[in-house]
């Protein structure tokens, strides 16, 4: 072959190889150009997934694929308010909450309705049932005396009619009491919480912190329990949970001075209700009386205005709780009772013992450990729940 021909063939081969290499580089380059775009998609994807994990924007998930190619994910994010779950309009009644908290509560006295004609023994059974329900001996006896005379007047003999008379009498016993909680306008109101240890004072203050704030009041908590280690800690946790301000002192310090500081701070910061915790110790009566009267006196110093002294009673302690409550009621002028742990008691008759023996209205009821488990006491529904 001529050298020129060989040269031409080599040239053609080189041109062909060169062309192929050029095409291949171009196509690889295109591939490389595509990769960053996939990368972009990941970056866009991630925040969307993160939001979904937060639980706020799970509703958006089905749209993610549609949204990604446009690259507008963040703009599509709905305002947070859109996903806030609205409060149910109809709140459960006291009756419903009571029976839900403790199904055995309903019908505690309801079994009596089946009684036939009441002979002496049946009347005794009725009395025993009331005492077992924590109504207390003297209150049970006086209620039944009334019922007996009413039954006689009405000529009622059968069990159902007599139980109906008892129910009516129990309704009357709880009717027409002022169960409101006082907050006087323009005052630095102080609500003192007293009662033996472990009954639920601190927890009740925590629950009330949320409730009062929701009602537009401006509560401040005062950790007047300087006796028990960690008591102020416990109240601080409630304050943080409910967004309330708190004033606390040193452990072992003077409870009165913590409450005094609480009142001063409340006045300075325009808080209108000081929820004052106290220690639940019950060493001896004289001691208790002295301490409680001092706490009350100091809490009432200008600009403090003691508008409630709430005695906290644990419903599960029955008559034992009653005798402790009597000591407190003698030591300080109590304006109302908070009956806690009714979710743990099937009885509830203690309400009658409290109101007739102590003469103090039950104002609030604790139905659990949660922040929303504190409700106003509703006497009508309460008596119905005892019998239904």
- Binding test (CB under 6 A) with ligand GTP, winner from 134, 173, 225, 378: 225
3-class DSSP state of 353:
helix
Under the criterion CB under 6 A, does residue 317 sit at the interface with ligand GTP? no
Long-range contacts for 226-232 (Cβ within 8 Å, ≥24 apart)? 226/250, 226/251, 226/252, 226/253, 226/254, 226/255, 226/258, 226/279, 227/252, 227/255, 227/279, 227/281, 228/197, 228/279, 228/280, 231/202, 231/277, 231/279
Which of 195/262 has CB closer to ligand GTP? 195
Task: Give me the least distance between CB of 374 and ligand GTP, in Å please.
Answer: 7
Among 49, 43, 48, residue whose Cα is nearest residue 77: 48
Distance CA(362)–CA(312), nearest Å, equals: 10
The tokens for 221 are 């908590």
Task: Using the CB atoms, write b or e for 1-40: b if 16+ within 10 Å.
Answer: eeeeeeeeeeeeeeeeeeeeeeeeeeeeeeeeeeeeeeee
Any contact of residue 165 with ligand GTP (CB under 6 A)? no
Binding site for Mg ion (CB under 5 A): 201-202
* Residues 321, 327, 329, 331, Cα dihedral to 10°: -150
Provide the minimum distance between the beta carbon of 239 and ligand GTP in the complex, in angstroms, as a whole number.
14
Using CB under 6 A, which of the segments 44-52, 117-125, 224-232, 320-328 binds ligand GTP? Answer: 224-232
Task: Report the residue number whose CB is nearest to Mg ion.
Answer: 202
* From ligand GTP, Mg ion, none, interface partner of 198 (C-beta below 5 to 8 A by class): ligand GTP
Specify the residue, 219 or 348, whose C-beta has the smaller distance to Mg ion: 219
10 Å Cβ neighbour count for 127?
16
> What is the phi/psi pair of residue 366, to 5°?
-95, 125
Q: What angle do CA 354, 357, 360 make, to 5 degrees?
A: 50
Nearer to ligand GTP, 144 or 365 (CB): 365
DSSP single-letter state for residue 301? S
Q: Which does 197 bind (CB under 5 to 8 A by kind): Mg ion, ligand GTP, none?
A: ligand GTP
HSE (side-chain half, CA atoms, 13 Å) at 249: 23
Q: Report if residue 344 touches ligand GTP, rule: CB under 6 A.
A: yes
Among 142, 148, 168, 197, binds ligand GTP (CB under 6 A): 197
For the bound state, the minimum distance from the C-beta of residue 227 to ligand GTP, rounded and expressed in Å, comes to: 8
Q: How far is the CB of 292 from Mg ion (least distance, A)?
A: 15
- Could you say whether residue 343 binds ligand GTP (CB under 6 A)? yes
Smallest separation, CB 222 to ligand GTP (Å): 14
Minimum separation from the CB atom of position 201 to Mg ion (A) = 5
Beta bridge partners of 340: 314
Q: Which stretch binds ligand GTP (CB under 6 A): 83-91, 259-267, 362-370, 375-383?
A: 362-370
Whether the CB-CB separation of 313 and 321 falls below 8 Å is answered with yes
How far apart are the C-alpha atoms of 285 and 291, rounded to whole Å? 10
The smaller minimum CB distance to Mg ion, of residues 223 and 358, is found at: 223
Select the binding partner of residue 200 from Mg ion, ligand GTP, none (C-beta < 5 to 8 A, by kind).
ligand GTP
Q: How far apart are CA 246 and CA 320, in angstroms?
A: 33
Residue 167 touches ligand GTP, criterion: CB under 6 A:
no
Q: Which is nearer to ligand GTP, 99 or 203 (CB)?
A: 203
Tell me if 150 contacts ligand GTP by CB under 6 A: no
- Does 366 participate in binding ligand GTP (rule CB under 6 A)? yes
Contact in structure between 329 and 195 (CB atoms under 8 Å): no
Using CB under 6 A, pick the residue from 136, 200, 209, 348 that binds ligand GTP. Answer: 200
Six-digit token pair at 253?
């310090």
Residue 226 or 272 with smaller CB distance to ligand GTP: 226
199 binds, among Mg ion, ligand GTP, none (CB under 5 to 8 A by kind): ligand GTP
Q: Which is nearer to ligand GTP, 218 or 228 (CB)?
A: 228
For residue 277, the SS3 value is: coil
Least Å distance, CB 182 to Mg ion, is: 23
Which residues make up the interface to ligand GTP (CB under 6 A)? 195, 197-203, 225, 228, 231, 280, 312, 340-341, 343-344, 366-369, 373
């Amino acid at each position: 072959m001529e050298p020129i021909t060989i040269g031409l063939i080599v040239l053609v081969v080189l041109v062909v190889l060169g062309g192929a290499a050029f095409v291949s580089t171009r196509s690889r380059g295109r591939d490389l150009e595509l990769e960053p775009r996939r990368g972009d998609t990941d970056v866009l994807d991630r925040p969307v997934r993160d939001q979904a994990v937060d639980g706020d924007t799970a509703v958006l998930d089905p749209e993610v694929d549609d949204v990604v190619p446009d690259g507008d994910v963040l703009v599509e994010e709905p305002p947070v308010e859109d996903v806030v779950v609205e409060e149910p309009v109809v709140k459960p009644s006291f009756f419903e909450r009571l029976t839900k908290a403790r199904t055995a509560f309903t019908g505690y006295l309801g079994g009596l309705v089946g009684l036939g004609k009441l002979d002496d023994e049946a009347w005794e059974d009725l009395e025993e049932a009331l005492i077992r329900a924590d109504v207390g001996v003297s209150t049970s006896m006086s209620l039944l005396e009334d019922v007996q005379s009413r039954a006689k007047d009405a000529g009622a003999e059968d069990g159902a009619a007599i139980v109906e008379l008892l129910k009516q009498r129990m309704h009357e016993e709880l009717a027409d009491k002022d169960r409101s909680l006082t907050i006087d306008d323009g005052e630095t109101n102080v609500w003192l919480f007293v009662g033996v240890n472990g009954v639920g004072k601190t927890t009740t203050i925590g629950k009330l912190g949320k409730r009062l704030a929701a009602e537009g009041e401006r509560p401040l908590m005062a950790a007047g329990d300087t006796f028990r280690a960690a008591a102020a800690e416990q109240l601080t946790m409630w304050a943080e949970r409910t967004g309330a301000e708190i004033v606390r002192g040193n452990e072992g310090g003077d409870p009165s001075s913590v409450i005094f500081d609480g009142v001063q701070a409340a006045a300075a910061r325009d808080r209108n209700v000081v929820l004052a915790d106290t220690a639940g110790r019950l060493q001896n009566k004289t001691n208790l009386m002295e301490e409680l009267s001092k706490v009350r006196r100091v809490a009432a110093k200008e600009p403090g205005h003691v508008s409630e002294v709430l005695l906290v009673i644990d419903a599960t302690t029955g008559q034992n709780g009653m005798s402790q409550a009597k000591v407190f009621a003698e030591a300080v002028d109590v304006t109302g009772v908070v009956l806690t742990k009714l979710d743990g008691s099937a009885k509830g008759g203690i309400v009658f013992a409290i109101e007739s023996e102590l003469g103090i209205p039950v104002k609030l009821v604790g139905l659990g450990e949660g922040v929303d488990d504190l409700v106003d006491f509703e006497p009508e529904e309460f008596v119905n729940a005892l019998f239904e």
